[in-house]
Amino acid sequence: MNFRGNHDLRRAGGILQGQRGTKSSGTLENTLCDNLSEKGDHLISHMASPVPADPSAFVSSQELERHIASIEQRVERPIEGIFGPNSITWRINRESALFLGAGRAALLQLAHPWVATALDQHSSLLSKPIARFHSTFRVVFTMIFGTAPQAFRAARSLYQTHTRITGQLPTDVAGYAAGSRYEALQMPALTWVYATLIESAIIAYECVLPRLTPTDREAYYRESKIMAGLFGIAPDTLPPDWTSFQAYIRQMLESQELGVSDRSRIMAHRILTGAGSWVPIPRWYQSITTEILPSRFRTEFGLSFGEARMASAERARRWLPHVYETLPAAMRYVGPFQEAQARLANKPAGFIARRSNKFWIGQPLLPFNE
């Protein structure tokens, strides 16, 4: 990895208080869709040791405001938002295919003990998983497709929500001891959540659409660092390019900074089966999610991936691209993108955009308007 020195590496991926520093054995095997990056089994003789962290690596309101001010200076047309219609961020995130990566991102976030405990203790994930889905996409899609003022209000709202999320780990998990204190504004956990969203979006996109060129990947990652600032993450503390970002992901997946508890395992199974929601989760979706999950976490989450699941995923990979290319724009593109298009045409969001928004964000229009 090529972070700017050990301090930045610690901020992006380190463990803060309550480290146990243990090691374990395992095999890491990333099985992705056929049109993703090179497959291969990575034999790992031992998990990487936890990385010492700077205990001051917290997001402050002053830092967030500095990031917002920096982004605001670069925005030419606030009505287009912080990215705009010509950005690769719009091109990728307008696709409803991104839903294919939502399960993967959610499970990898649960693999971080701080995140899993915070979700268990402070969210409605178990009782109202759809509400949790809506709250996540409501903020993310507003940051991407809302006006610049909407994106900035979404960032401030997210920060205020995070200030109230704090607690202690109830049990030992991976490199963390029971009683370790967590806060949602800790940089390592925020960085990991951001990373799962960015990587899973590309994986989902490439499951049904042509693989991105190296130039497009770099452009998407470069733009994603702008949105990281709205999470409170300083862009210059992140890996400088896509290759380094992938190295960071691998380091995390191999480390004791991630680990699955009994409680997070229960939450993962409820997410994959749709327990507590009115939306049934198709078997093929469960199979795809399991396949694109790193094998270490298939094992730790207790997800079987035998011949039947493999066959189900393979069938889905064959028919999904063909079905997807036949979808009309109203179904293929997410409601927030359609709303943004209407806004730029000086028109109100239409009926289909509003209905799509209800699915994606739980309400007919993007929030955080004045």
Kindly report the pTM of this predicted structure. 0.84
Strand stretches in 184-262, DSSP E:
none
Confidence band, pLDDT 50/70/90 cuts, at residue 126: low
Torsions phi, psi for 125 (to 5 deg) = -55, -45
Q: Is the predicted pLDDT of residue 49 greater than 50, yes or no?
A: no
Displacement of CA 311 from its chain's centroid (Å): 27
Length of the chain measured in residues:
370
**Rounded to whole angstroms, how far apart are CA atoms 197 and 310?**
24
pLDDT at 292: 97
Within 75-173, where are the H helices?
Answer: 88-93, 102-110, 113-122, 129-145, 148-163
Give the C-alpha separation, 315 to 283, whole Å: 11
Q: In the predicted model, what is the mean pLDDT of residues 197-217?
A: 97
Per-residue confidence band for 125, with pLDDT thresholds at 50, 70 and 90? low
On whether the CB atoms of residues 167 and 8 are closer than 8 A, the answer is no
Residue 299: pLDDT band (50, 70, 90) is very high
pLDDT for res 27: 32
What's the average model confidence in pLDDT over 285-300?
Answer: 97
pLDDT tens track for 3-32: 333 333 333 333 333 334 333 333 333 334
Average the pLDDT over 82-96 and give the result: 98
Tell me which residue has tokens 């409605």.
124
What is the CA 147 to chain-centroid distance, rounded? 22
Q: Is there a contact between 94 and 337 (Cβ–Cβ < 8 Å)?
A: yes
pLDDT per residue as tens digits for the range 62-71: 999 999 999 9
Q: What percent of the chain has pLDDT over 90?
A: 75
Q: Taking residues 44-51, what's their average pLDDT?
A: 35
- Give residue 129's pLDDT: 74
Helix 187-208 / helix 307-325 crossing angle, nearest 10 deg: 70
Check pLDDT > 60 for residue 86. yes
Q: What span, in angstroms and rounded, lies between the C-alpha atoms of 350 and 125?
A: 31
In the structure, what pLDDT confidence band is assigned to residue 56 with cuts at 50, 70 and 90?
low
Per-residue pLDDT band at 133 (split at 50, 70, 90) = confident
Q: What is the pLDDT of residues 231-279, one digit of tens each?
A: 999 999 999 999 999 999 999 999 999 999 999 999 999 889 887 777 7
Contact indicator for 260, 112 with CB cutoff of 8 Å: no
